[in-house]
Amino acid sequence: MPAHTHTRPRPAPRGGADTRLPWWAVALPTLAFVALLTLVLNPSDAHAAAGEPGIAHLVERAQQLMGR
């Protein structure tokens, strides 16, 4: 009875490797960043910071985009 052998995968060519990230490798860190930014810069507390209305508007817009 012949022995079963496994072939080894060939190493990738060193020239120009075509590396592509899956969609979630970009989407998940972006979503996590927006979620943490939303938690840190809560728009309900932004009324006390009169000098930065742009950040409050940005966070409000991010929450609208997230469907909250």
pLDDT per residue as tens, the chain (68 positions): 666 677 777 766 666 556 788 988 989 999 999 988 888 887 665 555 555 667 778 888 888 888 76
Give how many domains the chain has, as a whole number.
Answer: 1
Query: Would you state the pLDDT for residue 27?
Result: 92
With respect to residue 36, please indicate whether it lies within any of the assigned structural domains.
Answer: yes
Cα 1 from Cα 38, distance rounded (Å): 65
Query: Would you state the pLDDT for residue 66?
Result: 83
With respect to residue 4, please indicate whether it lies within any of the assigned structural domains.
Answer: no
Biggest CA-to-CA distance, the chain? 82
Phi/psi of residue 6, nearest 5 degrees: -105, 135
With respect to residue 27, please indicate whether it lies within any of the assigned structural domains.
Answer: yes
With respect to residue 29, please indicate whether it lies within any of the assigned structural domains.
Answer: yes
Residues in the chain: 68
pTM: 0.37
With respect to residue 56, please indicate whether it lies within any of the assigned structural domains.
Answer: yes
Tell me the residue range of the domain where 54 lies.
23-65
With respect to residue 41, please indicate whether it lies within any of the assigned structural domains.
Answer: yes
With respect to residue 31, please indicate whether it lies within any of the assigned structural domains.
Answer: yes
- Classify residue 10 as exposed, middle or buried by CB count within 10 Å of its CB (0-12, 13-18, 19+): exposed
